Amino acid sequence: MSMVAGLRRRVEGWARPRRPEVLPARLDRRRIYILPTRFGAFVAALLLTMAVGALNYNNNPALLLCLLLVGASLASLLWTQLQLSGLDVRAVHGEPVAAGVPMPLHVHVEAAPGRERRGLRVSIDDSEAPLSLHDAGGEATLVLPTFRRGWLSPPRLRISTSRPLGMARAWSWVWPQARFLVYPAPETGGPPLPDGGGDAAQARLNPAGEDLHHLRDWRAGDAPRTIAWKASARRDALVVREFERPQGDDLTLDWQRLGALDHESKIRRLARWVDEAERNALRYRLQLPGQPAIGPDRGAVHRHACLRALALLPEAG
Amino acid sequence: MARDVLALDSAGRRWSLLAAAVCLLPLLLQLPMPLPVAIAVAGAIASLMASRGATPGWLRALLALAVFGLILAQGGMHFGRDTGCALLAGMLAIKPSELRSVRDARSLLGFALFAPFATFLLDQGPLSLALGLAGALLVLAALARLSEQESALPAASVRHVARIGTVAKLVAIGLPLALAAFWLFPRLATPLWGIPEMSTARPGLSNEMSPGDWLDLIADDAPAMRVSFRGPEPTTRQMYWRGPTLTDYDGRSWTASRWLRDLPPAPVEHGAPTWEYEITLEPTERNLLVALEMPLDLPQGMRGAHEYTLTSDRRLDRITRWSLRSAPAVRFEADLSEPMRRLALRLPPDFNPRTRALARQWRAETVDDGAIVDRALAWIRGEFAYTLDTPLPGRHAVDEFLFEYKAGFCEHFSSAFTVLMREAGIPARVVTGYTGGTRNAYGNYWIVRRMDAHAWSEVWLEGRGWVRVDPTAAVAPERIYDTLDDRLGTGAAGAAGGLLPIADLGDWARQMWNDFMLGFDAERQQQMLQRFGFPDMDTGGLIGLFSLCAVLALGWMLWLVARSERERDPLLRAWHALGRRYARVGLARARHEPAHAWARRVLAANPHDTALLALTAGFTAARYAPAPSDPTLLRSLRAHRPARETDR
């Protein structure tokens, strides 16, 4: 079995394209391969038996029927090949995901109108998606397994079809020259977000804080424990203490302050903190060694910038 | 393979069962009566069981045993070609009981294709052909459905008509290749292995004849052969198609003599004229042939016994074709050797005493053989009648016929006449074959039906050799020479007479079909090539010619396939064609460009082209309209051409 698999891999290695190519890529006869399916081989054996029998008995109706079936089968082979021929693979786009999460890979194809192309399949290894073109365009979404952070180059895509009779399968390889970002996998568990070391101007008042900021007049709804009784007695009106806490948006996620973690664990922790800060709608800044700080900011673009920087950090050592 | 065990959906199941049923139908029609019903019932049970889910193995085995047991019992435990075909039908009927995955369905469909094939071994009639073709088309359509399921296309997304259309298109595209292979592929002149025999035979001419056993044959109006003459044609009275000659008589049956089978043909002196003709013989499952009396030379593959009983080297399981020349005999074996004479006079003792007495009496009155023959014919003409309604013969069959019933058909007449002659000491024998025929008005050929089967006598006269005497013709010539009168009955010529041209036309179509399809063989292939100017083409040359035609046909296929898969919506097709016309003058619509923006850009580039804007608006409206749109739009789209630069 392994020998068969090895042989298969080697044969596939000869198939075009042999190196990544710039999209759009047009499928033409030089890169469309076609082989009978197992069922096709069965039909071929069956028709051969019929033809030999009919020729032997000189039974012309049987021979004619057999030849009609041969003709139709051959026509279906051409038909199968033409399902792929002229197909334009315009773009391949992978959505960034954390390592370990399958990446959705969108394959966008177009073709000149005029030929019906339905029931095609796009596949990578185990992942397979149907592809039908409507109004000369179509899209299939595959899932690509991811294992580690950084750039991921897609493997060769296989676009195949066995329509209209299932007797032969035509396929073509597309090897897009593209790279898709894989974010670092966030750690599970671990410490909560650190306190910010930001400046006080950005701090927000918070009754749960520790530093007394100022006193103000009591308003309905203020908790009794926040009332400054001494000051109230002095002023003859209720005043309330207000505290502040520097928890602000201006959270700094600093590589240097992570202490004695190993390289990858630091990256995974920072990745988790970025996600968590984003979830809590906090503004944060990412400080990585040897590069300017990113932010402070928040939102999808900022998150992408931070996770991208983390994903692309060089390996340890 | 995970895909192979994909569970079959209901549309795929319906299509597969339908295709298998239609494939099975022509085969069932060829089987003897209780079998088709039993097999059809078994098929229905198997299909029902499969649709209810998994079928228990013992139930399947029981069903199979019942069907196969019935088939073998029906064949009388004798295994012939028909038994084999019945077994195939039985297996095909039970197969649907295991129909769960796409793979099961595909093996069922592959197996079903053998059913028309088996049918053609039994029968090559138009009904079998039509049903077989329909079955094969449905098999392809079912395969298309299975492939759709495999490609994750739901059943509703492709209409049945479209699926049938796709299959018909595939067949039509492959047709040139199929026909090139059919006509040009080198044919086997001799088969590699023989075709298995039938366990039950159809009545026909044979080496044996007993009174009464031709009743089925005489009622059968199926064609026995078709004959086309080159040059002069004989009259219907001269059309005696000589088949087996029967010399031995055991008191009941006439049989061909084994002694004469291996002797060379007797010498014949032929007279004028010479008739040249070609016989297209329907399959008979025997190797007996017929030829117009008397053949001048025998073509390859045909052998003549001493008394000109013609046989083929091979059994006639299919339509065969024989080119022959014949001329009336002037003298046929004028010198009769003593053993031959004794053979032609031999009669079993203790049979037909009254006939013997009559013959002895006639012999005593004259020594002239010819006078005795004439006297017998005159007696028969005067006192006998023609009827198909005859009683079963007793021990003295000839006595009963000559002195009691005085009515019968050709078997009785020829048998009794021959016995009478032998009793009178004149060497005589029975000859069987066909007489007469019907001319086809369209095809310039004669059709001889199985009901034209006939038996007559030959007597040996000094100086002339064997002379044909047809005692039946003395009684009822119209029943012998003219099949037409027989078929039309008496008087009722009105309605049937009106239908006759249609029947003739139908038979003519059948003859053409026989010529180029059923009867096509190695010899016919050479003839066809000669007509196209390739005399003496050997196998190598044939393969070369075939390859050339095959390559041409493949090119044609490629072109057709590339062309035929086009946009279905005529409006969209017209729109795309319009776009291409503008692309040719450098005003192609960009991929991202909305139709309207494009039309405006075209107008800016060429201010004369005002119509396009309106057309585009119409097209856009039609594309988004829920109801059918303006029918003139399609025509306008097709007619519109980019305005020329010179218009400016």
Q: Does B178 touch chain A (CB under 8 A)?
A: yes
Hey, are the CB atoms on B150 and A166 less than 8 Å from each other? yes
Relative to beta strand A168-174, strand A157-161 is: antiparallel
Sign of CA dihedral B261, B263, B269, B273: positive
Residue B191 vs residue B139, higher pLDDT: B139
Q: Which of residues 221-280 of B touch A (CB under 8 A)?
A: none
Tell me the two tokens of residue B266: 């007797």
Of A233-242, B232-241, B400-409, B623-632, the least confident? B623-632
Whole-number pLDDT of residue B27: 92
- For residue A130, the distance in angstroms to the closest alpha carbon of chain B comes to 7
What whole-number distance in Å separates Cα of residue B169 and Cα of residue B173? Answer: 6
Hey, are the CB atoms on A130 and B152 less than 8 Å from each other? yes
Distance of CA A60 to CAs B513, B520, B538, B545, Å?
Answer: 11, 7, 21, 20
Residue A267 reports pLDDT greater than 70: yes
Residue B189 reports pLDDT greater than 90: no
Q: Does B191 touch chain A (CB under 8 A)?
A: yes
Residue B432 vs residue A221, higher pLDDT: B432
Contacts of B170 in chain A (CB under 8 A): 72, 75-76, 79, 164-165
Report whether A96 contacts A190 (CB < 8 A). Answer: no
Hey, are the CB atoms on A58 and B517 less than 8 Å from each other? no
Q: Which residue among A64, A115, A130 places its CB closest to the CB of B566?
A: A115
Q: Does A91 touch chain B (CB under 8 A)?
A: no
Find, in chain A, the residue whose alpha carbon is nearest to that of B151.
A119
What is the average per-residue pLDDT within A152-158?
89
Q: Does B173 touch chain A (CB under 8 A)?
A: yes
Residue B490 vs residue B394, higher pLDDT: B394
Most confident of A262-266, B137-141, B369-373, B617-621: B137-141
pLDDT band at B54 (very low <50, low <70, confident <90, very high): low
Q: Does B151 touch chain A (CB under 8 A)?
A: yes
Most confident of A3-17, A160-174, B491-505, B592-606: A160-174
Residue B428 reports pLDDT greater than 90: yes
- For residue B615, the distance in angstroms to the closest alpha carbon of chain A comes to 20
Comparing C-alpha atoms, which of B577, B578, B580, B646 is closest to residue B613? B578
pLDDT band at A210 (very low <50, low <70, confident <90, very high): low
Hey, are the CB atoms on B151 and A113 less than 8 Å from each other? no
Q: Which residue among B114, B178, B591 places its CB closest to the CB of A70?
A: B178
Amino acid at A93: H
Find, in chain A, the residue whose alpha carbon is nearest to that of B196.
A57
Q: Which of residues 116-135 of A touch B (CB under 8 A)?
A: 116, 118-121, 130, 132
Q: Does A64 touch chain B (CB under 8 A)?
A: yes
Report whether A88 contacts B151 (CB < 8 A). Answer: no
Residue of A28, A38, A39 to mutate for B, most B C-beta atoms under 10 A:
A39
Whole-number pLDDT of residue A222: 76
SS3 assignment, position A104: strand
Residue B496 reports pLDDT greater than 60: no
What is the average per-residue pLDDT within A186-211?
61
Amino acid at B571: L
Contacts of B193 in chain A (CB under 8 A): 56
pLDDT digits (tens, 9 = 90+) for B279-332: 988 888 788 889 988 888 888 888 888 888 888 888 887 778 888 999 988 888
Contacts of A50 in chain B (CB under 8 A): 113-114, 117
What whole-number distance in Å separates Cα of residue A178 and Cα of residue A92? Answer: 8
Whole-number pLDDT of residue B648: 41
Whole-number pLDDT of residue A193: 80
Distance of CA B563 to CAs A82, A116, A119, Å?
Answer: 10, 11, 19
What whole-number distance in Å separates Cα of residue B44 and Cα of residue B226? Answer: 42
Backbone angles phi, psi at B111, to 5 degrees: -65, -40
What whole-number distance in Å separates Cα of residue A147 and Cα of residue A161? Answer: 30
Report whether B80 contacts B199 (CB < 8 A). Answer: yes
- For residue B377, the distance in angstroms to the closest alpha carbon of chain A comes to 47
What distance lies between CA B226 and its chain's CA centroid?
13
Half-sphere exposure of B296 (CA within 13 A, CB side): 14
Q: Which residue among A66, A67, A119 places its CB closest to the CB of B148?
A: A119
Any alpha helices (H) in B31-159, and if so which ranges? 34-51, 57-74, 81-94, 102-112, 114-122, 126-150
Q: Match 């071994």 to its residue by tokens.
A: B121
Whole-number pLDDT of residue B510: 74
pLDDT digits (tens, 9 = 90+) for A7-28: 877 777 777 787 888 888 888 8
Tell me the two tokens of residue B614: 């309106």
Hey, are the CB atoms on B318 and A64 less than 8 Å from each other? no
Residue A44 reports pLDDT greater than 90: yes
pLDDT digits (tens, 9 = 90+) for A231-256: 888 888 888 877 655 445 578 888 88
Q: Does A237 touch chain B (CB under 8 A)?
A: no
Tell me the two tokens of residue A14: 């000869």
SS3 assignment, position B282: coil
What whole-number distance in Å separates Cα of residue B388 and Cα of residue B476? Answer: 12
Asked if the peptide bond before residue B32 counts as cis, ω within 30 degrees of 0, the response is no
Hey, are the CB atoms on A69 and B113 less than 8 Å from each other? yes
Tell me the two tokens of residue B265: 């043909």
Q: Under 8 Å CB-to-CB from A297, ≥6 apart: which residues?
A: A283, A284, A285
Whole-number pLDDT of residue B481: 66
Distance of CA A236 to CAs A57, A218, A223, A232, B568, Å?
Answer: 123, 12, 18, 6, 90
Contacts of A116 in chain B (CB under 8 A): 565-568
Q: Which of residues 9-48 of B touch A (CB under 8 A)?
A: none
Half-sphere exposure of B23 (CA within 13 A, CB side): 33
What is the average per-residue pLDDT within A204-229?
68
Find, in chain A, the residue whose alpha carbon is nearest to that of B519.
A60
Rg of the Cα atoms in chain A:
33
First to last CA, chain A: 40
Residue B564 reports pLDDT greater than 50: yes
pLDDT band at B645 (very low <50, low <70, confident <90, very high): low
pLDDT band at A201 (very low <50, low <70, confident <90, very high): very low
Whole-number pLDDT of residue A199: 45
Residue B565 reports pLDDT greater than 60: no
Q: Match 């310039």 to its residue by tokens.
A: B444
Comparing C-alpha atoms, which of A83, A85, A121 is closest to residue B149? A121
Contacts of B166 in chain A (CB under 8 A): 164
Q: Does B116 touch chain A (CB under 8 A)?
A: yes
Residue A16 vs residue B120, higher pLDDT: B120
Whole-number pLDDT of residue B316: 81
Residue B49 vs residue A212, higher pLDDT: B49
DSSP string across B568-609:
S-HHHHHHHHHHHHHHHTT-PPPTT--HHHHHHHHHHH-TT-
pLDDT band at A168 (very low <50, low <70, confident <90, very high): very high
Asked if the peptide bond before residue B535 counts as cis, ω within 30 degrees of 0, the response is no
Q: Under 8 Å CB-to-CB from A296, ≥6 apart: which residues?
A: A198, A249, A250, A251, A252, A283, A284, A285
Most confident of B182-191, B360-369, B583-592: B360-369
Q: Which of residues 312-331 of B touch A (CB under 8 A)?
A: 317-318
What whole-number distance in Å separates Cα of residue B191 and Cα of residue B314? Answer: 10
Q: Which residues pair with B428 in a beta bridge?
A: B459
Hey, are the CB atoms on B565 and A78 less than 8 Å from each other? no
DSSP string across B372-437:
HHHHHHHHHHHH-EE-S--PPP-SSHHHHIIIII-EE-HHHHHHHHHHHHHHTT--EEEEEEEE--
CB neighbours of residue B299 within 10 Å:
15
| Burial group, residue B472, by CB count within 10 angstroms (0-12, 13-18, 19+) | buried
* Portion of chain B with pLDDT greater than 70, in percent: 89
Hey, are the CB atoms on A114 and B114 less than 8 Å from each other? no
User: Over chain B, what is the mean pLDDT?
Assistant: 82
DSSP string across B214-275:
THHHHT--SEEEEEEEES----GGG-EEEEEEE-EE-SS-EE--HHHHTSPPPPEEE-S--E
What whole-number distance in Å separates Cα of residue B265 and Cα of residue B307? Answer: 6
Tell me the two tokens of residue B69: 């047991």
Distance of CA B581 to CAs B94, B575, B576, B585, Å?
Answer: 58, 10, 9, 7
Find, in chain B, the residue whose alpha carbon is nearest to that of A42.
B110
Find, in chain A, the residue whose alpha carbon is nearest to that of B174.
A71
Whole-number pLDDT of residue A224: 78
Sequence spans of domains, chain B: 10-158, 208-488, 570-647
Comparing C-alpha atoms, which of A215, A211, A220 is closest to residue A234? A215
Residue B485 reports pLDDT greater than 50: no
Of A75-84, A203-212, B584-593, the least confident? A203-212
Question: Does an H or E element contain B564, and which?
Answer: helix B539-564
Q: Does A115 touch chain B (CB under 8 A)?
A: yes
pLDDT digits (tens, 9 = 90+) for B436-463: 888 887 778 888 888 888 899 999 998 8
DSSP string across B159-212:
-HHHHHHHHHHHHHHHHHHHHHHHHHSPPPSS-SSPPPPPSSPPP---SEE-TT
Hey, are the CB atoms on A114 and B566 less than 8 Å from each other? yes
Q: Under 8 Å CB-to-CB from B216, ≥6 apart: which residues?
A: B203
Q: Does A44 touch chain B (CB under 8 A)?
A: no
Distance of CA A75 to CAs B172, B180, B218, B556, Å?
Answer: 9, 15, 49, 10
Of A290-299, B514-523, B588-597, the least confident? B514-523
Residue B144 reports pLDDT greater than 90: yes
Hey, are the CB atoms on A71 and B567 less than 8 Å from each other? no
Amino acid at A219: R
Report whether A272 contacts A304 (CB < 8 A). Answer: no
Tell me which DSSP letter residue B6 carries.
Answer: P
Hey, are the CB atoms on B116 and A62 less than 8 Å from each other? yes
| Burial group, residue B395, by CB count within 10 angstroms (0-12, 13-18, 19+) | exposed
pLDDT band at B200 (very low <50, low <70, confident <90, very high): low
Q: Does B121 touch chain A (CB under 8 A)?
A: yes
Residue B499 reports pLDDT greater than 70: no
Residue of A35, A46, A64 to mutate for B, most B C-beta atoms under 10 A:
A64
Find, in chain A, the residue whose alpha carbon is nearest to that of B171.
A72
Q: Which residue among A68, A78, A130 places its CB closest to the CB of B557?
A: A78
What is the average per-residue pLDDT within B7-14?
88
Tell me the two tokens of residue B384: 């006998």
Hey, are the CB atoms on B129 and A120 less than 8 Å from each other? no
Sign of CA dihedral B615, B616, B617, B622: positive
